[in-house]
Structure 1
Amino acid sequence: MKRRPTTFVLVLALLALALFLALGLSAVLSVRSNRQFAAGIYGRLASAAALATDQLASRHDPGAARTLARLDALGVRFAEGEPPPSTVRVAPIALAVGRHVREQLGAGTRVVVVQNPDTHIWIGSAQAPGRWVVMSEPSNRERMLASSVSIAVLAGLIALGIAALLARLLTRPLERLAGSAGALLGGEPVALDGSSREVERLAQAFREAGARLRGSARERELMLAGISHDLRTPLARLRLALELGDAGDEQRRAAMVDDLEELDGALEQCLAFVRDGRDEALEKIDLATLVGQLLGLRHDPEAWQADGPDSLPATARPRLLRRALGNLMDNAERHGAAPFRVTLGRDARGVFVGVADHGLGVPPALLPQLGRPFLRGDRARSSAGTGLGIGIAMRAAELHGGMLELANAPGGGFVATLRLPDPAVAR
């Protein structure tokens, strides 16, 4: 398996590259700026030296001769004829000095820069047309190259050291986070002092993912325990009936069919809880029509009353919403008492469907816990069912971006209100 580079190496390489590019750009800009600055200074000095030398050459006194001799020793001399051609490429700074000399002495002044390999600036004499003032400068290319390489190496080492320090500062929180990932997923308190906001957000995402995983594990354990508990009683009755040979008795056979239906309903609820319906596509539906269809399927439709508009558009997952509202109606019939009421409407918070019964309600202490898998009310409410109905309805509401409100009615009974976003407001 190919070994991948660590985050530290990647960050170090990125920072080093960025620093090298910055230093290179700075060096290029600095060279250009320094070249113009130095060319201006050297150009003025060369112009002054050429004028002074040309004037001294027109004098024939001993002082002028001594000064010219000293200038010759310093590399300023006279020459006749045409300048020789350059044997190597002329240095840019020498060309810039030549331009400045021509600008300062006048456009008619002849200035030639020769590189062979030393730099020579030939300036035409104003006193004698065939004469040139020649200024020589030994070549510093090797020294400049060595100096530039030394500076580049030193700057590179400094840049590499800074990049390593920055890379370590950037990757250390990630290393701590990687080492603490298991503890974060397990819900243990982990301090990540000095970490950046991005690392803190990532750590919080780990905590939330761990909480969801632990919640899912608890739900699976609870579901397995609930299934084994809920299926044990009807299975025991069926086994006893088979052992007693009750299949021939019509009444006993009907009881066995009821047990099988109870088993099928429990398994169906468990599967509905596991498959939360998020894969179903959203559609535009009429809540009033959906509720009317559900009421028509009740065992005793006369026990139900419906209040609300004839049409209430909404955007929802039809099968998931049908199952959720059906579960709320089943809970009302199973745990409450007639008359039952379904209320549809729209308010400032969106569209809603409320299912109410006139039973004994739920103890206030249990209201915040409703929706947990296999949790039923107290003994005042029937123990029939799987305890998954409200949990399925709550998941359905949250998946639609809404919520499920559970409360005891002021006059007695229990009210479950499923709220969905208003499609008119969403547009």
Structure 2
Amino acid sequence: MKRAPSTFALVLVLVAAALLLALVLSSALQRRFGRQVVSDSYGRLALATALATDELASRPQDPAARRVLGSLRLLGVHVSDGQPPASSVRRIAPALAAVARTVGTALGDPSRVVATQTPDSQLWVRSARDPARWIVLRTPSYRSRLLDSALSLSVFAALIALAAAGLAARLVTRPLERLAAQAPGLLAGAPTGAGLEGSPREVRRLADAIGNAGERLRAVARERELMLAGISHDLRTPLARLRLALELGDAGDPVRRDAMVADLEELDGALEQCLAFVREGRDEALLPTDLATLAGQLLALRLQPDDWQLESPAEVTVPVRPTLLRRALGNLIDNAERYGAPPFAVTLARMDKAIEIRVTDRGSGVPPGLLGRLGQPFLRGDPARGGGGSGLGLSIAARAAHWHGGELLLANRTGGGLAATLRFSIPTCTAAAPPARKHSGVSPP
């Protein structure tokens, strides 16, 4: 497998390319602007020199004029009766051509100005007094020195750009390297700020996300371990009773055979609850479901349906995960019968943007110290209310509320009993946080 480039290398290349591109664009703009400045300033100076030389050349008898012409010759300005020579290069230097255009435009006749390179640069200006006479201005060529200077400057600028790119890349990638080194610790539960002081906000947010993911993974692992421990505990007692019954030959006794069947049903129920807890139900599709009909069907299957009362509008159709919600409501009904006392009631209420399904009983309620812990996997209310069960019923109900974008609320009732309420929004949505469970000491009757 081909090795992928490191983040540092990618950032270094990108920053260096950006700096070099900026340098090239800056050089191009500077050259263009410099050429314009040279053509304007030097063009005017050349025009003034040519006009003054032409005026002096028209007075050959004037000693002062001859002295000035001699001084100008030393500066590379002289008068010629010959024609401008042909250039020895294919293309005139852009700066010289720009100066020639400026002078020609100022004179009003571009044909009077000729730029040549032989290889020295010269500007020939035809005299206005004598068309056969030319004023020649020699312009020294700094091309080679400019090229050398530009090359040196480019190399120096490239080195600076690479150094700056390396520093920028290091500043960008160093927090990522620290985060990569801290990732195992973050997944294991180490504090997010350890070793990440001064890191950018995005890196710290990523570290928080990794820490949260690690916490969720640890929570899932703890739940799995707790589930395995709970399964082994729940299965041990009925299996022992079955084994003893088989050894004693109880299969022929109808009463004891019914007890064996009850043990098998208890085993099956425990396994079914564990599987439901593991599967969670979040992958089930949302379907429009009449909650009043669903609750009525569950109550009709009870051994003592007359102990139950259903309070609901004629129809409460909302999009839900029907199998998951049926199991959750069934667990709440089972808990009410197992731990509470009649009369029992299921109340459905539809508000503006929420649904409430409340299951109530008139038992002894739950001690306040235990109320806040109900809903944890494999936690039973036996010490307070008696009965068996796998300890997963309320956990499954809480997860069902969570995957419907809601919560499970547990509260003691005034006058005795417990109220378990599934509350979720309409339409339902899937949240990413752990299931919420709220409790209070007393709820309305």
Q: TM-score range by the shorter chain?
A: over 0.9
Q: Deviations over 1:58-93 (max 9, x none)?
A: 011233223223322322223345433432311221
Task: Pick which of 259-268 and 69-78 moved more.
Answer: 69-78
Structure 1 moving runs of 4+ over 4 Å: none
Match of 1:353? 357
Q: Is the 8 A contact 1:363 1:378 kept in 2?
A: no
Q: Does 1:210 align with 2:214?
A: yes
Q: Does 1:146 align with 2:158?
A: no
Which one-letter code corresponds to 1:311 in the other structure? E
Task: Pick which of 109-118 and 399-408 moved more.
Answer: 109-118
Match of 2:419? 415
Unaligned regions of 5+ residues in structure 2, if any? 430-445
Match of 1:37? 37
Which one-letter code corresponds to 1:84 in the other structure? P
Match of 1:12? 12
Question: How much has 1:279 moved relative to structure 2?
Answer: 1.3
Question: How much has 1:388 moved relative to structure 2?
Answer: 0.5
Find 2:90's aligned residue among 88, 91, 106.
Answer: 88
Question: How much has 1:158 moved relative to structure 2?
Answer: 0.9
Count of residues in correspondence between the two structures: 425
Map 1:189-268 to 2 at 5 A: 189=191, 190-268=194-272
Match of 1:397? 401
Question: How much has 1:340 moved relative to structure 2?
Answer: 0.9
Match of 1:329? 333
Match of 1:72? 73
User: For the residues of structure 1 that align with 2:428 and 2:331, how far apart are their CA atoms?
Assistant: 27
Q: Deviations over 1:355-409 (max 9, x none)?
A: 1111111111222222211011251322411111111111111111111111111
Secondary structure, counterpart of 1:320 in structure 2: helix
Match of 2:54? 54
Question: How much has 1:109 moved relative to structure 2?
Answer: 6.0
Q: Is the 8 A contact 2:298 2:330 kept in 1?
A: yes
Q: Does 1:24 align with 2:24?
A: yes
Which one-letter code corresponds to 2:121 in the other structure? T
Secondary structure, counterpart of 2:411 in structure 1: strand
Q: Does 1:302 align with 2:286?
A: no
Q: Deviations over 1:252-273 (max 9, x none)?
A: 1111111111111101100000
Which one-letter code corresponds to 2:71 in the other structure? R
Unaligned regions of 5+ residues in structure 1, if any? none
TM-score between both structures, scaled by the size of structure 2: 0.91
- Across the aligned residues of Structure 1 and Structure 2, the Cα RMSD in angstroms comes to 1.8
Map 1:65-144 to 2 at 5 A: 65-80=66-81, 82-86=83-87, 87-107=89-109, 110-144=112-146
Q: Is the 8 A contact 1:355 1:416 kept in 2?
A: yes
User: For the residues of structure 1 that align with 2:92 and 2:374, how far apart are their CA atoms?
Assistant: 89
Which one-letter code corresponds to 1:312 in the other structure? V
Which one-letter code corresponds to 1:54 in the other structure? D
Q: Is the 8 A contact 1:341 1:356 kept in 2?
A: yes
User: For the residues of structure 2 that align with 1:131 and 1:247, how far apart are their CA atoms?
Assistant: 138
Q: Deviations over 1:303-331 (max 9, x none)?
A: 11111211112121111111111111111
Q: Is the 8 A contact 2:182 2:195 kept in 1?
A: no
Q: Is the 8 A contact 1:88 1:117 kept in 2?
A: no
Secondary structure, counterpart of 1:380 in structure 2: helix
Which one-letter code corresponds to 1:66 in the other structure? R
Question: How much has 1:19 moved relative to structure 2?
Answer: 1.2
User: For the residues of structure 2 that align with 1:151 and 1:230, how far apart are their CA atoms?
Assistant: 82
User: For the residues of structure 1 that align with 2:220 and 2:271, how far apart are their CA atoms?
Assistant: 18
Q: Is the 8 A contact 1:327 1:390 kept in 2?
A: yes
Match of 2:173? 171
User: For the residues of structure 2 that align with 1:370 and 1:132, how far apart are their CA atoms?
Assistant: 109
Question: How much has 1:160 moved relative to structure 2?
Answer: 1.2
Which one-letter code corresponds to 2:70 in the other structure? A
Percent identity for Structure 1 against Structure 2 = 61
User: For the residues of structure 1 that align with 2:85 and 2:403, how far apart are their CA atoms?
Assistant: 88
Q: Is the 8 A contact 2:331 2:393 kept in 1?
A: yes
Match of 2:285? 281
User: For the residues of structure 1 that align with 2:149 and 2:294, how far apart are their CA atoms?
Assistant: 86
Q: Is the 8 A contact 1:109 1:123 kept in 2?
A: no
Q: Deviations over 1:14-44 (max 9, x none)?
A: 1111111112211111111121112111111
Secondary structure, counterpart of 2:420 in structure 1: strand
Task: Pick which of 271-280 and 29-38 moved more.
Answer: 29-38
Secondary structure, counterpart of 2:384 in structure 1: coil
